[in-house]
Amino acid sequence: MSTRFERRLRRELHAARPPRAADAERRAWHVVRAAHAARAPARSQRRGRQLLVAIATAVVLAALALSPAGAKVGDWIGDVVDPAPEATRGSLAALPAAGRLLVVADGGAWIVRDGGRRQLGSFTDATWSPGGLHVAGARGRDLVAVDPEGVEHWTLVAGGPVSVPRWSPDGFRVAYRSGSELWVTTGDNKDRWRLARHSAPTPPAWKPLAAPASQVLAFAVGGRVRIVDVDTGRVLGQTPPGPVARDLWWGKGGRLVTATARSVRIHGPHGHLLRTISLRSTASVMAPGGKRLALISRRGRSSSLVVLDLDGSTRSLLSTRGELEGLTWSIDGTVIVTGLPAADQWLFVRVRGGIEGVRHIRRVFRGGHEPLRGGFPRPAGWCWAEPDNRTAGGGPPCSPGSAP
Amino acid sequence: MEALFKAHWEPAHRAAFLIVHDAAAAEDIAQEAFLAAIRALDRFDRRRPFGPWLHRIVVNRAIDWSRARALRREVGEAIGDQPAPPDQPAGWSDETIDALACLDPDQRAAVVLRHLLEYTPGEIARLLDVPRGTVNSRLRRALDRLARELEA
């Protein structure tokens, strides 16, 4: 038998791909993930007990880390933040809730987890993949996929500066802006296509998965938000005209929530307006579960962290004389982290009460003595500590961060 | 599970497709193989590699499906039905797929295991639970047939 023939055969076998392979993979993953989640309760209980021990240990360590200097800063924070933080500590040795925090700071992205942090690369914006296995980062005209160790898996070279990358809930698509155009690439960077020529700089929002799986994306074009099936290009709906949305979120029940500087609007699944809530804000982020929206509300030189229940009520969790920047929910929806640049602190705010501050945030993410060139380090998303937790817990995969 | 899926889905799906030559069936077979793997995960000896375990399920189910389709085709042709043409994969030559279709399912499986998934004849014998000599015989006949079809 000719070995040349075998080599040719091997090449052809390796080159062949089944028709519509990407769609088949996506459908299969939905089924496999659901099946795996259905069998995982015993493992999640074990992990739950381990997590409780880890959190208890972290609380003890945080208490021991308080120093006289820390107490002074704590007093100052108590003057400007109401209610005052119960404790402030000088390190991010442990997060107050489970998981890993994605941070964008000074042109770089980091992952923070209990016990340490790791720089992923020089990115101006970043987003978790739904399982937390990867991060998509914007770097000049590049969209880059890296793993949590910072190893680059693929790089897409776009036609213009890349911004606001957002990974789809099933991990098979990444939406991003290239200049003012909105594009979508497959999760493995094997294909890409343009969705819109002139999109607003608002981060697009993927609709949480519904069966049968389809890839639905909401994005702002001028004063409207368009809702599109990205694979077919079919426009499924759009909102009435209005101010350009700063933030877009999908809430429970398929509701589309848009936030502008002066109001929060709640729309139906196809964009028809249901309610308008007058609420000035500078940032917002949807809680896991899609029922509550955290917002930074600014009045003069004061800021408040507010939680808006989509069904009605509004509650202020804290107010401060400084400006708050950046928001992310913990993946269990119990903690919100926000930055207070004037104090060089992050505030971890428990929704049920209690605030913990972490000092020297600039130093933590700069690592040197030079002042930061960019903005204050911004939490850009909170994900599970281990990807399997996503399916075992049955909850949303990762919690996003507020818009840059 | 996500890491396992991402590492093993594509080769399993491709192997199923090359044996059955039907996109929908290949998807079902590969998906069902993963579901079977999940059901048996607690019994799986984690010191052993996952790939061969999964491939065994994929290939056996693909062979079974192909045999069942052959039977349906014989019945269908007897009453005038025409079998659907095989789905064309991307980046594939028509000659090679026609030639593969001429093989019987066991021979296709042997070719896919040997030249796509790169198992040795001994490993294939263990996967398919047949004697090594049988594997060698199937490979030889399959490659002879493919060579005749493709180099004619």
pLDDT band at A113 (very low <50, low <70, confident <90, very high): confident
Q: Which of A59, A151, A127, A132 is nearest to A385 (CA)?
A: A132
Q: To the nearest whole angstrom, how far is the Cα of A391 from the nearest Cα of chain B? A: 9
pLDDT band at A52 (very low <50, low <70, confident <90, very high): very low
Q: To the nearest whole angstrom, how far is the Cα of A384 from the nearest Cα of chain B? A: 13
Type of residue at A240: P
Cβ proximity of A109 and A135 under 8 Å: yes
| pLDDT for the residue A87 | 65
DSSP string, A107-157: TEEEEEETTEEEEEES-SEEEE-TTSS-EEEEETTEEEEE-TT--EEEEEE
A4 touches chain B (CB under 8 A): no
| pLDDT for the residue A399 | 86
Instruction: Give me the helix-helix angle, B50-78 and B121-128, nearest 10°.
Output: 70
Q: Which of A11, A12, A3, A5 is nearest to B148 (CA)?
A: A5
All residues of chain B having their beta carbon less than 8 Å from the beta carbon of residue A33 are 1-2
In this prediction, residues A10-22 reach a mean pLDDT of 82
Whether the predicted pLDDT of A126 surpasses 90? yes
Whether the predicted pLDDT of A208 surpasses 90? no
Q: Which of A57-61, A202-206, A380-384 has the lowest mean pLDDT?
A: A57-61
Q: pLDDT for A128-148, tens place per residue?
A: 988 788 899 999 999 999 988
State the ipTM, two decimals.
0.84
Which residues face A357 on adjacent strands?
A88, A347
More confident residue, A176 or A27: A176
pTM, to two decimals: 0.60
Q: Hey, what are A34's tokens?
A: 């659901």
| pLDDT for the residue A7 | 86
Cβ proximity of A184 and A173 under 8 Å: yes
DSSP helix/strand/coil, A218: strand
Cβ proximity of B86 and B111 under 8 Å: no
Whether the predicted pLDDT of A308 surpasses 90? yes
Q: Which of A36, A393, A133 is nearest to B41 (CA)?
A: A36
pLDDT band at B99 (very low <50, low <70, confident <90, very high): confident
CA A186, A187, A190, A192 torsion: positive or negative? positive
Q: State the best of A4, A5, A13, A190 to mutate against chain B, taking most chain B CBs within 10 Å.
A: A13
Give the span between the Cα atoms of A330 and A346, in whole angstroms: 14
Instruction: Kindly report the number of other CB atoms within 10 A of residue A404's CB atom.
Output: 17
Cis ω for the linkage preceding A212 (within 30 of 0)? yes
Instruction: Give me the helix-helix angle, B132-151 and B94-102, nearest 10°.
Output: 140
Whether the predicted pLDDT of A312 surpasses 80? no
Contact A28 B88 (CB under 8 A): no
B148 touches chain A (CB under 8 A): no
| Range of A318-322, A384-388, B120-124 with top mean pLDDT | B120-124
Contact A18 B17 (CB under 8 A): yes
A22, closest residue in chain B (CA to CA) = B10
A171, closest residue in chain B (CA to CA) = B2
Task: Tell me the backbone φ, ψ of residue A187, rounded to 5 degrees.
Answer: -65, -15
pLDDT band at A188 (very low <50, low <70, confident <90, very high): confident
Which residues face A125 on adjacent strands?
A138
pLDDT band at A390 (very low <50, low <70, confident <90, very high): very low
| pLDDT for the residue A93 | 63
Q: pLDDT for B12-56, tens place per residue?
A: 999 999 998 888 888 888 988 888 888 777 766 667 788 888 899
- Size of chain B in residues: 152
Contact A13 B115 (CB under 8 A): yes
Task: Count Cα neighbours of A145 within 13 Å in the Cβ-side half-sphere.
Answer: 22
B23 touches chain A (CB under 8 A): yes
Q: Which of A25-34, A376-385, A387-396 has the lowest mean pLDDT?
A: A387-396
Task: Give Dmax over CA atoms of chain A in angstroms.
Answer: 85
Alpha carbon distance, N-terminus to C-terminus of chain A: 62
